[in-house]
Structure 1
Amino acid sequence: MGRSYLSVRMRIKRHKVFLVCLLGICVISFLHYYTALHSISLLQELSSPSSHLKTLKMLRGFFWNFPTDDIHFKQNGQKSSHQKGFVDLPDLPDAKQVVTNLHLQKQIFDLHDDSTPFFIHTEPGAVCFHEGTDLAALASHGRLLKHYEERTPLKDDSINAGKKEIRCPCRQGWHGPQCGIPTVVYHSNLPSKSKVTPRKVPRRVINAININHEFDLLHTRFHELADVVDTFLVCESNFTAYGDARPLYFQHLILNGTFDYIKHKILYIFLDHFPDGGRMDGWIADDYLRTYLTKNGMARIQGLKPDDVFILNDADEIPSRDGILFLKLYDGWTEPVGIHLRKSLYGFFWRQYGTLNVLSACTAAMLFKVYKGDGIYLRRRSYYTMSGFREYENSTGRVLVPWAIGSPVHYAGWHCSWCFKPEGIYYKLVSAQNGDFPRWGDYGEKRKMSYIKELIRTGGWFDGSEPDYPPTDPKEHMYAPKYLLDNYDKYHYLLENPYAKK
């Protein structure tokens, strides 16, 4: 009886061991299968807003009158059912079928000196900035000007214009002996503005940006800076910041002639991969965009000089022309350089208080010797702790002090955040990186067109708050870039609230 009992207990123990081992094998198999699914991003795809959209499309195939207020934007070649001719996202084939144009991908850009005659020489011996000088007063009162300057001591902000320190008669908005210092620099915190001098040969200016679907703002940037910037580095990826496949919209627009007016200054940069870890941590993807843009773009520029100007902006950050022109034409400013941008939301009609001061510019020498050729470091304010900073500062022979073009009351550009039509805001929601939480595109109610339009109408934010905005007037100074104002009817959705109650 005892042996029989022991035998039964032994069999039970063996069965338990077998069941535990079987359970362990099942767990390991499941984990292995999950890892395989994760490596192809299937689970993430199923949870992404774009996949929700695809599911809705499938449902609508069976139930054509299935009610939804979610926008059906143009993705992978499918037309928007919400707005015919949606200009932000042109019709294209499936994202996986779009291959970058090899000529654009391998293009090399040759930088050449700008031969534009920005300054004129007068008979009395003055050097005057053509655009900032009152030429009529200069022509009719040349002798009187000379006589006046000989009897009047120059102020501390005078600049040596050659053999004789003679001031030019300045137009409104321009300052200094040559009338070449714009108001946004004159009222900035540049410590050396009384010592800057005009260059004989202008610097070349390189403006680097990443693009998703901010094409109206891109046109605005090009028109604002076309005669100042020597080349635009524009990076586009076939992945969104979230990691989903996307068509190469900008490439398509370049090839179909949309940007022919500025094509000769565009260096197209194609990012054909998504960074490791970018799906789980959106900041990795966000940083990598700027890193790749800078390193790939600058490596494809020939003729670069150490004192050329490198400017890195987000697509919704548009510097004003005058401040960038100053960097191009004058010596004596220090670096790195920030830009005070007028802040607005959904359109220029919702202006926010204060300015956005973003470190945006430096010389090519500083970019490579301090920032290691990586633009993401320019956006940060820890340059003085970087290994090459002191060595570079010593090589310049001067103390490098950061400063910013403009001031909190003198805008030197525009930052227009979420400035799209409702369909464009939807696309930004579902394309946004997996960071900067909460990620509002993950909430179905935030993606509804009725909700988005109400946000534009009230100026509210996705968290339910409605900030207090100062009053604005399209006629006010620096309300919006000149190109938009000159084409008011075309861009009225950015210049006046389309949903405000009349």
Structure 2
Amino acid sequence: RKWVECVCLPGWHGPSCGVPTVVQYSNLPTKERLVPREVPRRVINAININHEFDLLDVRFHELGDVVDAFVVCESNFTAYGEPRPLKFREMLTNGTFEYIRHKVLYVFLDHFPLGGRQDGWIADDYLRTFLTQDGVSRLRNLRPDDVFIIDDADEIPARDGVLFLKLYDGWTEPFAFHMRKSLYGFFWKQPGTLEVVSGCTVDMLQTVYGLDGIRLRRRQYYTMPNFRQYENRTGHILVQWSLGSPLHFAGWHCSWCFTPEGIYFKLVSAQNGDFPRWGDYEDKRDLNYIRGLIRTGGWFDGTQQEYPPADPSEHMYAPKYLLSNYAQFRYLLDNPYQEPRSTAEGGRRPRAPEGRPPARGKSDVVEG
């Protein structure tokens, strides 16, 4: 194929200027084989939801025009096994998410797995297994090379990377995202990146991982019995890679990013396996104590924050939708319990209009 050389805009690379920086500077071993597709893939993004509704809103706006179906699983039990209200279902029906409703497939988990109260990892794994198997089975017109991405609710891939997966052939699988890590809000940036394998084609998900999302996230593909069969049938050698790098973030992981009341609910909802379970300690559930953690960036074990607050003007500080609606999401962008930094100290508070443009277009992937 003969290419016409383009002068690419900043952040874009390749002969047709369609390769984003997070791919250009990734460890993808097949960059020289990348070619634009004639027909875009469909992209399926699967998420379990507890009470991360603001981050879910941000995800929908970051990825709404790229993802074809958001498969969102909600249970009437917490990860600890206690009853909880179906708040997301309520928000779907009352119009809160009307702008993206046509792309949401709601998955209801109406039971708690046997043994999940004694061993929280049983419950944690089962949530993702049920999400994938029930959700994907209800999608129609899926093609083998469509893209499946499973995230925790606090993991938001960047739009450019997901768009690349949708529009290009030549990349290998499975893939991960290098995500910028932060705690309590985007202002407490953590060292390193979160790198979790979270995506592959629908064909690989079905053939190699047995339609089980937790295997995709936690099992090396070469330990799965059908990976050689898949390679031989498709002619593709499986090579795991990651979008982005430790210096080029391909998304955001905002851990414990709630108001103090939201952190309290996360404490009492947490599964019984990730010890110590801080929600079992009354003093850790105190709202004033939680406010102090947000203020200092400390952790429940007494560990103190070793790094200064991040500069809101830095590249990839937070998703664009958050920055465009600064007042609405201020508690995630500015530390609400610290004195604001002056511009002389390097701080900057960007402001922008607060509109909510809906994601455009309909999808034929979501059933009902």
| TM-score of the superposed pair, with normalisation by structure 1 | 0.67
In the TM superposition, residue 470 of structure 1 has moved relative to its aligned partner by 5.0
Equivalent residue number for residue 49 of structure 2: 211
CA distance in 2, matches of 1:398, 1:262: 35
Equivalent residue number for residue 87 of structure 2: 249
In the TM superposition, residue 399 of structure 1 has moved relative to its aligned partner by 1.9
Whether the 8 Å CA contact 1:359–1:381 is kept in 2: the answer is no
Equivalent residue number for residue 483 of structure 1: 321
CA distance in 1, matches of 2:226, 2:238: 13
Equivalent residue number for residue 232 of structure 1: 70
Equivalent residue number for residue 346 of structure 1: 184
In the TM superposition, residue 167 of structure 1 has moved relative to its aligned partner by 1.1
In the TM superposition, residue 172 of structure 1 has moved relative to its aligned partner by 0.6
> Structure 1 regions of 5+ residues with no counterpart?
1-161
Secondary structure in structure 2 of the residue aligned to 1:262: helix
CA RMSD of aligned residues (A): 0.8
Partner AA of 2:154 in structure 1: D
CA distance in 2, matches of 1:393, 1:287: 27
Q: Are residue 448 (structure 1) and residue 286 (structure 2) matched?
A: yes
Please list the CA deviations of residues 125-170 of structure 1 after superposition, one character each: whole Å capped at 9, or x if unmatched. xxxxxxxxxxxxxxxxxxxxxxxxxxxxxxxxxxxxx3x3221221
The equivalent position to 2:18 in structure 1, one of 152, 159, 180, is: 180
Whether the 8 Å CA contact 1:352–1:470 is kept in 2: the answer is no
Equivalent residue number for residue 247 of structure 2: 409
CA distance in 2, matches of 1:426, 1:301: 35
Equivalent residue number for residue 160 of structure 2: 322
Equivalent residue number for residue 204 of structure 2: 366
Equivalent residue number for residue 300 of structure 2: 462
Equivalent residue number for residue 331 of structure 1: 169
In the TM superposition, residue 396 of structure 1 has moved relative to its aligned partner by 2.2
> Structure 2 regions of 5+ residues with no counterpart?
341-368
Equivalent residue number for residue 198 of structure 1: 36
Partner AA of 1:449 in structure 2: L
CA distance in 2, matches of 1:501, 1:297: 45
| 1:271-350 paired onto structure 2 within 5 Å | 271-350=109-188
In the TM superposition, residue 395 of structure 1 has moved relative to its aligned partner by 1.8
Secondary structure in structure 1 of the residue aligned to 2:292: helix
CA distance in 2, matches of 1:260, 1:471: 35
Equivalent residue number for residue 425 of structure 1: 263
Partner AA of 1:246 in structure 2: R
| TM-score of the superposed pair, with normalisation by structure 2 | 0.91
Q: Are residue 474 (structure 1) and residue 331 (structure 2) matched?
A: no
In the TM superposition, residue 398 of structure 1 has moved relative to its aligned partner by 3.0
Partner AA of 2:320 in structure 1: K
CA distance in 1, matches of 2:294, 2:308: 16
Q: Relative CO higher for 1 or 2, CA cutoff 8 Å, sep ≥ 6? A: 2
Q: Are residue 492 (structure 1) and residue 330 (structure 2) matched?
A: yes
CA distance in 1, matches of 2:231, 2:263: 43
Partner AA of 2:184 in structure 1: Y
| 1:377-388 paired onto structure 2 within 5 Å | 377-388=215-226
Q: Are residue 396 (structure 1) and residue 234 (structure 2) matched?
A: yes
In the TM superposition, residue 212 of structure 1 has moved relative to its aligned partner by 0.5
Equivalent residue number for residue 356 of structure 2: none
* Identical-pair percentage: 70
CA distance in 1, matches of 2:144, 2:278: 43
**Structure 1 runs, 4 residues or longer, greater than 4 Å off:** none
In the TM superposition, residue 471 of structure 1 has moved relative to its aligned partner by 4.7
Q: More helix by proportion, 1 or 2?
A: 1
Partner AA of 1:304 in structure 2: L
In the TM superposition, residue 501 of structure 1 has moved relative to its aligned partner by 3.3
Please list the CA deviations of residues 33-66 of structure 1 after superposition, one character each: whole Å capped at 9, or x if unmatched. xxxxxxxxxxxxxxxxxxxxxxxxxxxxxxxxxx
Aligned length, in residue pairs? 340
Whether the 8 Å CA contact 1:242–1:282 is kept in 2: the answer is yes
Whether the 8 Å CA contact 1:291–1:374 is kept in 2: the answer is yes
| 1:117-156 paired onto structure 2 within 5 Å | none
